[in-house]
């Protein structure tokens, strides 16, 4: 089974930069996107063979997630079960016969860590949510998790300590999520690989210099770890400040 996740940083813009060519060439079983920045009806995608699930933010041009799947889910749920986290379109859960898929766009702590308190509460509630799913059947979590977990996951760790996405608090939350029963699929296969990033700032020629961060993930329940066949970062694919990440898994 092939799953793809991509923060498109505005789907309408990404559609003009080759998104459909990539989508069709990859022929994924499930394709998840984050930061759609769209309201219902703003784009009509023709994706033969796929069922589409959209979750938009109330605020126009902000956040939003979507899942396109060849495999019909048993059930679909939106958000993470807490009313205080509704309205930003940050999570879609699809239940299949043998696993859950959670497509997520984790809140950014923002400049100066202005939204860190909310982010930490969201993390705690999200962890409880996926643990409850994991108690029923295995879980695959994908999306922009807005954190570089360890120093190997970004180009310039020393200068980014206490910046959003690399604060000790956010990194600790990722550690807690993994400790709660999940595996980072990329590091499971490639524990020591450096220079593997999924996001680059638009400033300072960051992408040309590969001065990036790995903040887009596929996490899987530990009992699925041995089923991982590959976990890829398609850094050559343009169209967004993020690139797609890919999970191939034997389910």
Q: Which residues are catalytic?
A: 105, 144
In angstroms, the CA 8 to CA 65 distance is 10
Which uninterrupted H or E stretch holds 92? strand 91-95
In angstroms, the CA 3 to CA 34 distance is 14
Residue 106 vs residues 33, 56, 64, 82, 109: alpha-carbon distances, Å: 13, 14, 11, 14, 9
In angstroms, the CA 182 to CA 184 distance is 7
In angstroms, the CA 122 to CA 120 distance is 5
91-118 burial, b if ≥16 CB within 10 A, otherwise e? bbbbbbeebbbbbbbbbbbeeebeebee
In angstroms, the CA 167 to CA 215 distance is 13
* Residue pair 19/28 in contact by the 8 Å Cβ criterion: no
SS3 79: coil
């Amino acid at each position: 089974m092939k799953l793809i996740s991509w923060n498109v940083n505005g789907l309408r813009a990404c559609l003009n930069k080759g998104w459909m060519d990539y989508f069709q060439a990859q022929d994924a079983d499930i394709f998840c996107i984050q930061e759609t920045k769209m309201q219902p009806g703003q784009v009509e995608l023709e994706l033969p063979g796929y069922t589409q699930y959209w979750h938009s933010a109330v605020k126009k041009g902000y956040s939003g997630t979507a899942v396109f799947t060849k495999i019909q889910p048993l059930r679909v749920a939106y958000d993470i079960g807490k009313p205080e986290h509704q309205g930003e379109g940050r999570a879609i859960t699809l239940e299949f016969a043998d696993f859950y898929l959670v497509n997520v766009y984790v809140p950014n702590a923002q400049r100066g860590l202005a939204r860190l308190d909310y982010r930490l509460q969201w993390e705690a509630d999200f962890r409880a949510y996926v643990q409850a799913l994991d108690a029923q059947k295995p879980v695959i979590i994908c999306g922009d998790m807005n954190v570089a977990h360890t120093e190997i996951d970004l180009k310039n760790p020393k200068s980014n300590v206490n910046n959003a996405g690399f604060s000790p608090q956010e990194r600790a939350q990722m550690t807690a999520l993994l400790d709660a029963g999940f595996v980072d699929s990329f590091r499971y296969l490639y524990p020591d690989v450096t220079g593997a990033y999924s996001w680059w700032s638009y400033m300072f020629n960051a992408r040309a210099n590969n001065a990036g961060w790995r903040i887009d993930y596929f996490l899987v329940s530990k009992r699925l770890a041995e089923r991982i066949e590959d976990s890829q970062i398609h850094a050559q694919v343009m169209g967004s400040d993020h690139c797609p990440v890919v999970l191939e898994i034997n389910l």
